[in-house]
Amino acid sequence: MHYDDSDMDVYQVLTPRDMRETEQKAFALGVPSLLLMEHAAMAVVDALEKELGGRCKGKKVLFLCGTGNNGGDGLAAARLFVMRGGKAEIWLSGAPKTPDAQINLAWCRALDIPMLNLREMPVEEWPLNGEGPREHFDGYVDALLGTGMKGAPDEVTTRMILVPWHDFSFPPVIAVDIPSGLNGLTGEVFGDSYVHANVTVTFHAPKPGLYLTQDREAVGKIIVADIGLWRMDPWHSDALLLEDAELHCEVLTEKALRLLPKRALNAHKGDCGRILIYAGSMGMAGAAAMCAKAAIAAGAGLTTIACSREMMPILQTLVPNAMCVDMEKAVREKPAYDVLVMGCGLGQGEEVWQNIKALYDPEKITVWDADALNLLAKDPFVLGEKAVITPHIGEAARLLGCTVSEVLADKLLAARKLCEKFGCTAVLKSDVTVICRMEDGKPEYIFHAVGSPAMAKGGSGDVLAGMMGALLHQKTLPLQAAGLACLWHGMAGKTGEKKYGLLELTAEQLIDCLYEARKDV
């Protein structure tokens, strides 16, 4: 996902309720609501102009506007688009109901912008050719429903939602705050009645529904627009954050890589973390190698792989910068380590589980991945606050004793249940990863949505596990360390897609892209 070009490292994610409370605080201080609507409209037209090739003049755009303030934003955007030389047409789903929307309706009429109120027209008189528009438009602005939508759209709004979908010239669609038909809190949709946007311009802060929807392609690029409220960076200051927020959640922008740990000039390898990796088995040596290489590339000072004696020459060849220790010896004399990473390519035999329990120390930072999680699901116990688990959706279902569809239906709840059941930090991996940690009995989340489909390949998870181990030693807060590891991993995937290709990127190349991914930040 893409964010705006502001200097923000971290955004607080606001639910629709929290956003309303933030706006009410501003209004109580004398900030005019009409001014915020104007700023929102400017941001929409800026995004529209960019999608139209950098100019509005000579372009014709259809503005689909609802009856609330979301529709008011669309009306204001239509007026500003005309003022930049564009040609606008407005279709209303009904008469505007809010004072600010009514003011912008009057301004649009004063400019003689063509306008239809479809609710007052028989459907057979709508200017449609089938379900699509009768004439060509260069773009669409979706301002029908805002983030507060709870139930299914009515029949008129549903028909309007589908209009851009049936324009087979596929012009760009800009969604105002959230694609109409998506629930701003949960991302829930009702059938096929939701807008598929190329760009979503959301205001002041991202909304959780943009990340939790199961059709994330419908959201398109996300632009977080500054509309004149105070900016909130929860990792630098919490003075202006909502104390009683409905959801405690952040999302990292690509600029957050600036927060990766710095090294002192006099640093030595002992300062940078001793990472012990228990991974790999005969036929799966590559999993251990990718994990170890990633840990080294992410800054680990000393990396040791605990493995069977017959695997040692293989891994010493694949990862000459890592040490190897015979697993039998490691069980008898536990190697010194700061962080233990376990699971990649281990297999699920009873001996493996006994080895895991022998190496595990609840007083040390531990990353549980892959087969370690599958074994934990069979014999669950509380891991403690220094542990981080990294399940994908299927592994999470096994850990929770539920179905995959139940995890997908509410990833926030699933991540929270993982934290509560195992007493740890949970990294629930998916197209949008949900990272969760319990603080004072309340869940705190990070959404991670930066990455590439090129990473959908064996070995990517092994790389993340190694990176996670390295960063957990260097960052004091597990939630932040896990978030930065996921971000860096995802940005390396985006870099790798550009450098090697969507289909061709390998896990080893992904590691090679770590430096390039952060060098410009």
Is 410 in the same domain as 297? Answer: yes
Query: Looking at the structure, do residues 359 and 506 belong to the same domain, yes or no?
Result: yes
pLDDT of residue 262: 87
Domain for residue 178, yes or no?
A: yes
Choice between 343 and 4, residue whose per-residue pLDDT is larger: 343
Same domain, 40 and 73: yes
Render pLDDT for 418-470 as a digit per residue (tens, 0 to 9): 999 999 999 999 999 999 999 989 999 999 999 999 999 999 999 999 999 99
Mean pLDDT computed over 46-71: 97
Same domain membership, residue 61 and residue 126: yes
pLDDT-based confidence at residue 52 (cuts at 50, 70, 90)? very high
Both 284 and 167 in a single domain? Answer: no
Considering the domain boundaries, does residue 185 fall inside one?
A: yes
Distances in whole angstroms, Cα of residue 332 to Cα of each of 54, 315, 363: 67, 21, 19
Residues 6 or more apart from 302 whose CB is under 8 A from it? 269, 270, 272, 273, 274, 275, 323
Residue holding tokens 């933030």?
22
- The residue segments making up the domain with residue 448 are 258-518
CATH number at residue 364: 3.40.1190.20
Q: How far is CA 82 from the centre of its chain?
A: 34
Say which range, 10-14, 52-56, 96-100, 377-381, has the weakest mean pLDDT: 10-14
In a domain, 4, yes or no: no
Residues 403 and 282 placed together within one structural domain of the fold = yes
- Is 1 contained in some domain? no
Nearest Cα residue to 69 out of 38, 42, 46, 112:
38
- pLDDT bin (cut points 50, 70, 90) of residue 4 is low
| 246 within a domain of the structure (yes/no) | no
**Are 482 and 472 spatial neighbours (Cβ–Cβ below 8 Å)?**
yes
44/173 same-domain check: yes
Give residue-wise pLDDT tens across range 154-199. 999 999 999 998 888 899 999 999 999 999 999 999 888 899 999 9
Does 291 lie in the same domain as 166? Answer: no
- Domain assignment present for residue 242? The answer is no
Q: Confirm whether 250 is domain-assigned.
A: no
Closest C-alpha among 257, 298, 285, 325 to residue 464:
298
Could you tell me if 197 and 332 lie in one domain? no
Domain shared by 391 and 483, yes or no:
yes
Q: Is the pLDDT of residue 238 over 50?
A: no
Q: Please, are residues 254 and 491 in contact by the beta-carbon 8 Å criterion?
A: yes
> Tens digits of per-residue pLDDT, 340-394?
999 999 999 999 999 999 999 999 999 999 999 999 999 999 999 999 999 999 9
467 and 338 belong to one structural domain: yes
End-of-domain residue from the set 237, 266, 293: 237
- Least Cα distance to 333 among 309, 372, 352, 359 occurs for 359
**Does residue 5 sit within a domain?**
no
Q: Are 283 and 212 in the same domain?
A: no
Quick check: 521 pLDDT over 80? no
The domain spanning residue 153 has which CATH number?
A: 3.40.50.10260
Our count of domains for the chain comes to: 2
